[in-house]
Structure 1
Amino acid sequence: MFNWKRIGMAAGAGIASLVLSVAGVAAEQTVKVGMVVGLSGAGADIGESMVRGADLYLALHKQELPRGVSVELIKRDDGSNPDRTKRLAQELVVRDKVQLLTGVTLSPQALTIAPISTAAKIPTILMNATTGSLTRASPYFVRFSYANWQMAYTLGAWAAKHDINSAYTLVADYAAGHDMEAGFKRGFEDNGGKLVGSDRTPMGTTDYLPAMARIKAAAPKSLFVFTLSGAPSIATMKAFRDSGLQAAGVQLLTTAQNVSDQQLPQTGPATVGMIDSAVYIATDASPGAKEFLAAFKKAYGPNAMPDLPAVAAWNSMEAVFGVIKKHGAQFTSKQAMDVLTTWKSPNTPAGAIAIDPQTRDIVHDVTMARIRQVGDHYENVAFDVVKGVKDPWKALNPEK
């Protein structure tokens, strides 16, 4: 004889279970973050580093998200081409319905995204793209890397104050290179230094010996260099050595990302003695830096060395998680911007960072370091620091 009561109870339990299951599925929410980077072309080294840093943060911290919430990082390779950057950003916003944009390898690419971010009110976290004026291009831009003048002006001022009284500049001929050139010049000359010459080279060139010949003829006490990371920067350092400038005692000056820790095995003796301004050094002894370096090597191999774009990507994803932890998956543009523009993190791989809400740009310490041979390898060795540096360009060029 059938027990209709028992069957009814079982059916009711099954329905309840199904309802709970459906509710659980409905509760799962995905935050879509569009990441446009150059994984090919002139910015490929930078783009690859950013992807590694972002992926590593997601892998290690996804369990910290609110229950039922996940982050989908939708990556697009723009080939370091600004026109393609613009098209891909539009697709991510219109077709993929991303709530945030990030990545952005070089400054020209960022400029093409600015009107899209503004029109769609999409918060855009810059992991690189370092020209000072960029954060003024859209009210939805927030930068987590650095501004060129933070590094270049600070280095120029430091050099002039430390008995380096003449300099020549050699930079890549694009927006960030011009910005670095102007920043170093202003910091150097504001503090009594004299610029004796300058040179601009095509972005992707690896032939620097003609420029080195002109520099040698000018006989400066120092040479400030900013070229693209990767093959161009490696070629620059080798040309500096091969031209005899290193042997002649010319002090090489640059910013740390120009010769990243990853590239030191390739530049080797050509960079020994080089002084650079840095906001991140892979071998730093701080807890955040040590933990990040260990995780990076575990994920990407014992010989992998993270650089600043990887750290900026890691820090950017921490801020993305900060937005979600505070407001859940369905946050508004205003809610996201309120979190991003007041963001502070005390123990990142690059030390304590903060975003200046007035400029939407990062504030951090700038370290002076010198390349030295340590045992059988080469390292950035810190020897001085300038605390709490905001972008000097914005201070010297206030908005009207």
Structure 2
Amino acid sequence: MSRIVSLTASVFAIGLFAGSAVAAGDTITIGIPVGLSGANSVVAPSVVQASELAVDEINAKGGILGKKVVLEVADDASGAAGAQKAYDLLIFKKKVDAIVAMETSAARNAGLPIVNRGKIPYIYTSFYEGRSCNPYMYINAWVPEQQVAPIVDYFNKQGAKTFFLIGSDYAFGRGMLAFTKEYIEKNGGKVVGDEYAPMDATDWTAVLAKVKAVNPDAIITSTAGGAPNVTLTKQLRAAGIKALYGNLAVDEGTARSMGADAEGIYIAGSYFTNIDTPANKSFLAAVEKKFGNDLKTPNELSVPQYEAILAYKAAVEKAGTTEAAKVVPALAEVSVEGPRGTIAMSKQRHAPLTMYLGQVKADGSVSIISSFKDVDPGEQCPKLK
């Protein structure tokens, strides 16, 4: 599948200005805050492309409630300060009807108070540490209860007894690894070290020195999606560390960008490009037809974004309006048939997901080892209806 190194400004302009010539009231606008800069900049272009494909498909079939759908894309800089600016811009200046966002947990947490003030539907499409609950928010990506077990259980079967955990020092990194540590110890393993670095860390020398000192059987990492995965993996390989390597945060697109360094990484997720279903094949054909040589690899972060926009359409049509008071509850009542299968955010505003355990091959693609159908997200937001 063809890809590009970077995405030109003209592609983003499609999302930013597509509705400028349409009269007010004739459009439904979806806001897309995403890390065009910062840690998520490696994956953001694929997320924008997935959003554009979804909107094109919706508009080709008459829009939503007969109205054309347009996108407003804003850079959240992959962090809290940038997210505050992006959400203010989208909600109060651009007057978007909804937010659909693949973001870091830091950006999400900073944006939620602004969503509360704006009172608009919000679908969060990034895998995350779990238990983020808000009256306006739904999540269609995985949480630790769905993603950690396949990797740890597999490593246990390979004879791993000692584990070293490495994460980014923010909600996602610490939340994921706290769950992972508990799961490892509950299943008879031992965590011999855990280290955290800033989200924008580029030098992992000190952390990797500690890994080499204890020589664990397995390493599990949970860094901010994108750039930190690249630098950590490159330096881990250069250090000659041979332990089993499970990464809780790398997507297939980022793995492809790493080249040979990614080979052998174990990952668990709800989407890989080689899922052999008619729906996934149709999606891949459509996205390649639209973007051609400019296509960024569809992945665990971009595909939920695509499906979330379709879910918003379904909820608005069920509600018969874009009014948040009616759309928000409708989001729990609709389902989407997408590349990952049937997705319904019906379990405490989260979604049961079919999960896959895979290993990255030399060309960056993923070999699927096993699958787990309809894994429940567990208790996430029991107080929200």
Deviations 1:24-83 (A, max 9, x none): x99973112222222112222233222111111111331223574111212221222423
**In the alignment, what sits opposite 2:73?**
75
Task: Give, in whole Å, the separation in 2 of the partners of 1:321 and 1:355.
Answer: 14
How far is the alpha carbon of 1:277 from its aligned partner?
0.9
Uncovered stretches (5+) of structure 2, i.e. residues with no partner: 1-21
Deviations 1:255-289 (A, max 9, x none): 3x51x332344433333322211111112211222
Other structure's SS at 1:281 match:
coil
Give, as a single letter, the amino acid of the residue that structure 2 aligns with 1:195.
V
User: Structure 1 residue 317 and structure 2 residue 314: aligned?
Assistant: no
- Residues 107, 229 of structure 1: CA spacing in aligned structure 2 closer, same or farther, 3 A cutoff? closer
Deviations 1:7-30 (A, max 9, x none): xxxxxxxxxxxxxxxxxx999731
**In the alignment, what sits opposite 1:31?**
28
Match of 1:380 among 358, 362, 366: 366
How far is the alpha carbon of 1:181 from its aligned partner?
0.8
**In the alignment, what sits opposite 1:84?**
82
**In the alignment, what sits opposite 1:3?**
none
How far is the alpha carbon of 1:166 from its aligned partner?
1.6
**In the alignment, what sits opposite 1:273?**
264
Deviations 1:66-111 (A, max 9, x none): 5741112122212224233223323433333322122251111211
Count residues with an aligned counterpart: 361
How far is the alpha carbon of 1:153 from its aligned partner?
4.5
**In the alignment, what sits opposite 1:286?**
277
**In the alignment, what sits opposite 2:38?**
41
Task: Give, in whole Å, the separation in 1 of the partners of 2:219 and 2:65.
Answer: 54
Task: Give, in whole Å, the separation in 2 of the partners of 1:314 and 1:116.
Answer: 23
Match of 2:289 among 293, 298, 317: 298
**In the alignment, what sits opposite 1:192?**
188
8 Å CA contact 1:49–1:306 kept in 2: the answer is: yes
Q: Percent identity between the aligned chains? A: 25
Give, as a single letter, the amino acid of the residue that structure 2 aligns with 1:58.
V
8 Å CA contact 1:157–1:190 kept in 2: the answer is: no
- Residues 186, 92 of structure 1: CA spacing in aligned structure 2 closer, same or farther, 3 A cutoff? same
Other structure's SS at 2:301 match:
helix
**In the alignment, what sits opposite 1:142?**
138
Give, as a single letter, the amino acid of the residue that structure 1 aligns with 2:341.
G
Give, as a single letter, the amino acid of the residue that structure 2 aligns with 1:391.
P
**In the alignment, what sits opposite 2:340?**
350
Which aligned pairs between 1:81-230 and structure 2 lie closer than 5 A? Answer: 81-128=79-126, 130-134=128-132, 136=133, 138-160=134-156, 162-230=158-226
Other structure's SS at 1:361 match:
coil
How far is the alpha carbon of 1:368 from its aligned partner?
0.8
8 Å CA contact 2:273–2:280 kept in 1: the answer is: yes
8 Å CA contact 1:166–1:222 kept in 2: the answer is: yes
Q: With structure 2 as the length reference, what TM-score do the two structures score?
A: 0.85
How far is the alpha carbon of 1:355 from its aligned partner?
1.1
User: Structure 1 residue 368 and structure 2 residue 361: aligned?
Assistant: no
Task: Give, in whole Å, the separation in 1 of the partners of 2:264 and 2:376.
Answer: 27
Give, as a single letter, the amino acid of the residue that structure 2 aligns with 1:381.
S
- Residues 339, 40 of structure 1: CA spacing in aligned structure 2 closer, same or farther, 3 A cutoff? same
Deviations 1:310-338 (A, max 9, x none): 1011011111221233344x332132112
Give, as a single letter, the amino acid of the residue that structure 1 aligns with 2:267.
D
8 Å CA contact 1:151–1:278 kept in 2: the answer is: yes
8 Å CA contact 2:128–2:176 kept in 1: the answer is: no
Task: Give, in whole Å, the separation in 1 of the partners of 2:34 and 2:296.
Answer: 20
Q: With structure 1 as the length reference, what TM-score do the two structures score?
A: 0.82
How far is the alpha carbon of 1:158 from its aligned partner?
4.3
Task: Give, in whole Å, the separation in 2 of the partners of 1:41 and 1:285.
Answer: 33
Q: Which has the larger radius of gyration?
A: 1
Task: Give, in whole Å, the separation in 1 of the partners of 2:341 and 2:91.
Answer: 33
How far is the alpha carbon of 1:365 from its aligned partner?
1.4
Task: Give, in whole Å, the separation in 1 of the partners of 2:56 and 2:48.
Answer: 12
Match of 2:244 among 244, 251, 254: 251
How far is the alpha carbon of 1:251 from its aligned partner?
0.6
Measured on the aligned residues, the alpha-carbon RMSD in Å equals: 2.6
Uncovered stretches (5+) of structure 1, i.e. residues with no partner: 1-24
- Residues 27, 194 of structure 1: CA spacing in aligned structure 2 closer, same or farther, 3 A cutoff? closer
How far is the alpha carbon of 1:208 from its aligned partner?
1.9
Give, as a single letter, the amino acid of the residue that structure 2 aligns with 1:205.
A
Q: Which gives a bigger RCO, structure 1 or 2 (Cα 8 Å, sep 6+)? A: 2
8 Å CA contact 1:171–1:199 kept in 2: the answer is: yes
Give, as a single letter, the amino acid of the residue that structure 1 aligns with 2:284.
L
